[in-house]
Amino acid sequence: MTTALDQDVIVRYEPRGAARQLFKSRDDELVIAGPAGTGKSLAALFRLHLTALHNPNIRCLIVRKTAVSLTSTTLVTFDKKVAADALSRRIVSWFGGNAHEAACYRYSNGSRIVVGGMDKPEKIMSAEYDLVFADEATELTIADWEAISTRLRNGVLSWQQQIAACNPGHPTHWIKLRCDAGEATMLVSRHRDNPAYMHADGTPTEKGVAYFKKLDRLTGVRKARLRDGAWAAAEGQIFEGWDDAVHLVDPFPIPEAWTRWWTVDFGFTNPFVLQCWAEDSDGRLFLYREIYRTKRLVEDHARDILRAVRRCVTCCKSKAADHDCHTCKTCVLEWTEPRPRALICDHDAEDRATLERHLGMGTQAAHKSVSDGIQAVQSRLNPAGDGRPRLFIVRGALVERDPLLEEASLPMCATDEVGGYVWAVKPGNAGGLKEEPVKKDDHAMDALRYMVAERDLGGRPRMRWLN
């Protein structure tokens, strides 16, 4: 597809398969779903961009569950692959937002593409739109989706449309059920739809060969979803009670009075995992911060942890270009949140000693029994007497994405692991009885299990602060 609006702007894009269907459809709700790397998000972004170029004064919205995930992923694609030429020629300009208006792309013909996250919905939900695109839509709740639909009433376009792009999830996910019920139209995207990875004759490009090798290394439910595009549940999934719509919660101010806990699962080639937990007055646990990184030393992780929880309150005001308040002996630092009641760690003695030395706090060994720890987590995932479970993960808890894990399409946080945490059945086991988890992609699950075991199976914590 080549569009020439005037001598100043030329947009080239080749939509195939589901992407081409996306450009033709006027259905109220469209879901473009399929494996990783089929060009789903790119197609939806081009749909908005070209519509905004051709239609003066329309309003569009690009949204994800969290604003930070939108900035680091979707908008990078938009800037570099979709609107790069228009931005360079100032046919489109970026506006960072202010107290009265949300951040947006401003088009010279008066159109706007507003951007934002459902974690900060005040500005984006106060406006009206003609087109909406929700990226990684499986992160959204049905309440998010329906709330967004109420804003499709700008009326400048003769048709209004709500678009979602996603990789497949659990077969009972609300998106799948909504499409099965005919309330939304699902367009199935395949790798042959992406010219970057597949030639028109169906053979892979050089980039495609390398990318498919990565996908082929996936296992279990992640391979079924990301390589094959199936709405699948993991066979033998351990935490069958886990439900994204229930156990994932939006960020909220955590009261100072809530007890804090930290858990650590050590790793270098495998991920090092630190989880920060808050416990409310009813004993519910909330994972609100997570570090999940490979190829970093324990002392480097300790530095990153302290940077996340301390700030300078009495600065030496050094003008040195390399001045760092966190390492300066003159600056005075204070904690920005309550200190943890306990730091519960894997049993590696050398790593524990290193972490203690660099954090200046003691640690305690985790309760390592797997079977009863898993049962304790399963119990917390079930609704309690008031109808709510006793374990939650806060969306956006991950501090930073690991580019090596992302490149390899491996889990990058607890929410990535939980769906693929499965039972291993030993050969010759009569009746195929479930005995223990598969020891792969389970690092966050180990840290999570340490936390629950400490509260539900362990004794009183023994915490010491080192001078």
Helix (H, G, I), strand (E, B) or coil at 185: strand
- Sign of torsion, CA 318 322 325 331? negative
Q: Domain 2-216 falls in which CATH fold?
A: Rossmann fold (3.40.50)
Residue 357 pLDDT:
95
Q: Where would I find the beta strands (DSSP E) of 348-465?
A: 364-365, 391-394, 423-424, 436-437
pLDDT < 50: residue spans in the chain: 2-7, 460, 467
| Sequence ranges of the domains in the chain | 2-216, 244-297+339-456
Residue 299 pLDDT:
95
Distance CA 141, CA 331 (A): 44
Q: Domain 244-297+339-456 falls in which CATH fold?
A: Nucleotidyltransferase; domain 5 (3.30.420)
Residue 396 pLDDT:
84
* pTM for this predicted structure: 0.71
Residue 121 pLDDT:
87
- What is the bridge-based pairing of β-strands 9-12 and 92-95? unpaired
Task: Find all residues with CB under 8 Å of 186, minimum gap 6, and list them.
Answer: 31, 32, 33, 176, 179
Residue 246 φ/ψ, nearest 5 degrees: -105, -45
Q: Which residues pair with 11 in a beta bridge?
A: 3
Helix (H, G, I), strand (E, B) or coil at 116: strand
Q: How far are the Cα atoms of 242, 396, 398, 436, 449 from residue 381, in angstroms, in the given order?
A: 6, 20, 21, 19, 12
DSSP 339: P
Instruction: For the sheet with 185-188, list strands across it.
Output: 92-95, 104-107, 112-117, 59-64, 131-134, 161-166, 29-33, 185-188
Residue 2 pLDDT:
45
